[in-house]
A and B are shown apart, each in its own frame.
Chain A
């Protein structure tokens, strides 16, 4: 199920909240587990067993490591087994067809594909459960002895299908003990509503603009730039809107999830961008891959190797397709460049210039990200250096979406938040509350019209 659906908003959410509130304290985790499994099963009636299997395996692995507390060798073996199982399942469902395709096209073979649909959210929950076994192995967290609590953590519906990637250590205490205050409920509902509006009112429209712009021929620099821009706004509002909804929902049930986005389009370097974009993913790769590989505390060549590995895999995580790998490596390249060419990130440079550099790099990256067909992608990359006059159709679409583009661009900065925070007077609170209510009703209007409402994480 997705949050931006009528089924979720009208039926699932009210029922889930009500049943959670009325259930007695000691049963709350069990109830939340059932709610979460129902949520997942609604979209994946078969693969829900995969989530249970995955969670069950990691629970057992955790217990085993607890049992073998003193025997380092065995513990290592258990960790290895967990890594193999988790990554094996991920590899099997997500990457096998991709590998077959690569082999087929390189060697002119005709091996048949598995053609399995990708279980929604598999990349998210695999990374979550991995964080548990790795942390238990490193004794950063204690073993969880309650199967229900642990399964609830794995399947927790707010962040199950599209993040944030909530590490076990971030939520360990909350699994056992949490209270939901009135503030939690109110703030959670507000946060959820903002996320819903971001997704339904802005992201979906930007996606529609993107679709329309890709029909324009011939492709010249103006077309490519606005395609990158519309996709960048679409994915930001989609993804951060989803994270907002997840974080808001989490609070309704007493959880505090980590933030996932921090106004990434205000970043002043690519390094800064990745501290602000999909924060929980970049932190995961940093802590469980980059640092274990030695990070930057190794020789130059090894460091370069580490960067390449991390960004290759970051790209690949987003989907089993060549363009995602290119997308990851593209960022790796700029991160390396920022280390060697220090003026790029120098303090002497005006912030505006640094932001423009960052936005330019990111904008082009969205072209790479959005076109899974590499030939198609190359046409738009070539378009970037073709300086013909803009086709008139572009004017039409830009005029059509002018106001929405302005709203989206301003909305991707922290201007709104600064206004609300700076002046918490009664008038502002009333205005904000009414505004949120209006956003929710408007979102309903767009959902009822069943206009364009894509789900973009099916590849992740």
Chain B
């Protein structure tokens, strides 16, 4: 028996290697939403600096035969060891959640930059800031006891107090509606329902009622970003609901690569993994949306944002002739220059707190 197992072990290694090499390499992983390491080329330089060897190790981890089996096995083992966390994600009730660690330095720098920008340009721009809490704050009750995570509501309070520009505090309204599917269960984004509440909070009575829009479930098998980290196949996948806000609207959307389309949604992503790209094809440095209303609104909105905005912007379309979206992670020029050249007066800075807490790119465009 021992001898048999001894041979099995070495055979296991060898056969696994052979299968991995025989199987065709995958260049992109749908489940992980990233490019995979393919077989590296043999180059003297890469060998001498060791990068070839690192690439081989990554190649094996990325392309190994039975990868899903091994990843699930690891996730299951962690659970059997009564661990609730896998790759930084914990399960809290029905939600997969990432803890929040407050990075005071970075966040205060972001606030300062916004305040400075506001003071310098008070005469030119109307600035509104909306920072959205994450699941970790809203579904706090389901979190494992003593999970080291900082209180997002406290931080949002600080933001409110310190901000000179107008801010829209959406904490309370989201908390009240936490049972209404306002966040995805396995993804880090909010849903259109959550985004609607924030829109309503901002526009008050001018907001159109949600019942005006036809709702449609466009996907029931959305494996969110945390689903992919947590890697537990027994967690149910998410549902994506679309409120048909753009019905009857004449849209012209221009992307930073020059591509022009007339639709806000991209159903082709719904059979893939990264289904949040259904909204506006994901993130781009600069997206210009023009809306032809029967009667011009004569309003233009500049939005500086992360991906949370992609669920909220649909509700804004009926209020503006033009909405331009800038993602500072990819857009590296001056915001002021852009707004002046293009004659914008209204500015919305929209972030979720996880990004706002960690972001270093926003302040570099606010000069």
> Footprint of B on A, CB under 8 Å?
1, 5-7, 9-11, 13-14, 17, 42-43, 45-46, 182, 185-186, 188-190, 193, 215-216, 392-393, 395-397, 399-404, 407, 426, 429-430, 432-434, 436-437, 440-442, 444-451
Contact = CB atoms under 8 A, between A and B. Distances in A.
A10 B144 contact: no
A280 to B, nearest CB: 26
Contacts of B71: 445, 448-449
Contact of A186 (B6, B48, B83): B6
A22 to B, nearest CB: 14
Interface of B: 1-10, 12-14, 16-17, 20, 47-48, 50, 53, 56-58, 60-61, 64, 67, 70-71, 73-74, 77, 81-85, 87, 144-148, 231
A9 B13 contact: yes
A5 B57 contact: yes
Contacts of B85: 400
Given A43-B53, A433-B5, A444-B70, A396 B61 contact: no
Contacts of A407: 81
A447 B47 CA distance: 23
- The 9 A-B pairs of least Cβ separation, nearest first, read A14-B14, A10-B17, A396-B146, A393-B148, A445-B74, A189-B6, A445-B73, A6-B60, A186-B6
A402 B145 CA distance: 14
B84 A400 contact: yes
B148 A6 contact: no
Contacts, number: 127
B17 A14 contact: yes
A442 B146 CA distance: 29
B61 A190 contact: no
Contacts of A395: 145-146
Contacts of B56: 7, 11
Contacts of B67: 448
A304 to B, nearest CB: 46
Given A10-B60, A442-B77, A190 B2 contact: yes
A433 B8 CA distance: 10
Nearest to A430: B1
B47 A436 contact: no
A449 B74 contact: yes
Contacts of A430: 1
Which of the listed residues A13, A186, A407 has the most CB atoms from chain B within 10 Å of its own CB? A186
17 contacts: A6-B57, A7-B57, A10-B20, A10-B60, A42-B53, A45-B48, A185-B6, A188-B6, A190-B5, A396-B148, A397-B148, A400-B83, A402-B82, A404-B83, A434-B5, A447-B61, A449-B74
Contacts of A400: 82-85, 144
A42 B46 CA distance: 12
Per DSSP, chain B at the interface is helix
Contact of B60 (A7, A14, A188, A437): A7
A6 B61 contact: yes
Given A395-B145, A441-B12, 9 more contacts: A5-B57, A397-B148, A399-B144, A399-B145, A403-B82, A403-B83, A433-B2, A442-B77, A451-B87
Nearest to A201: B77
Per DSSP, chain A at the interface is helix
A185 B11 CA distance: 13
Contacts of B146: 392-393, 395-396, 399
Given A185-B6, A400-B84, A445 B145 contact: no
A448 B74 contact: yes
B13 to A, nearest CB: 5
Which of the listed residues A393, A436, A442, A445 has the most CB atoms from chain B within 10 Å of its own CB? A445
Nearest to B143: A396
A401 B82 CA distance: 8
Contacts of A46: 48
A193 B9 contact: yes
Contacts of A393: 146, 148
Nearest to A395: B146
B5 A437 contact: yes
A449 B87 contact: yes
B31 to A, nearest CB: 13
B158 to A, nearest CB: 19
A193 B13 CA distance: 12
Contacts of B4: 433
Nearest to B148: A393
Contacts of A404: 81, 83
A429 B2 CA distance: 7
A6 B64 contact: yes
Nearest to B72: A445
Contacts of B231: 449
A404 to B, nearest CB: 5
Contact of B77 (A11, A17, A436, A445): A445
A432 B5 CA distance: 10
A441 B16 CA distance: 11
A402 to B, nearest CB: 6
Contact of A429 (B1, B74, B81): B1
B195 to A, nearest CB: 32
A14 B13 contact: yes
Nearest to A44: B50
Contact of B5 (A45, A436, A442, A447): A436
B81 A14 contact: no
A10 B13 contact: yes
Nearest to A450: B61
A396 B144 contact: yes
Nearest to A46: B48
Given A403-B82, A429-B1, A448 B13 contact: no
A442 B48 contact: no
A237 B341 CA distance: 63
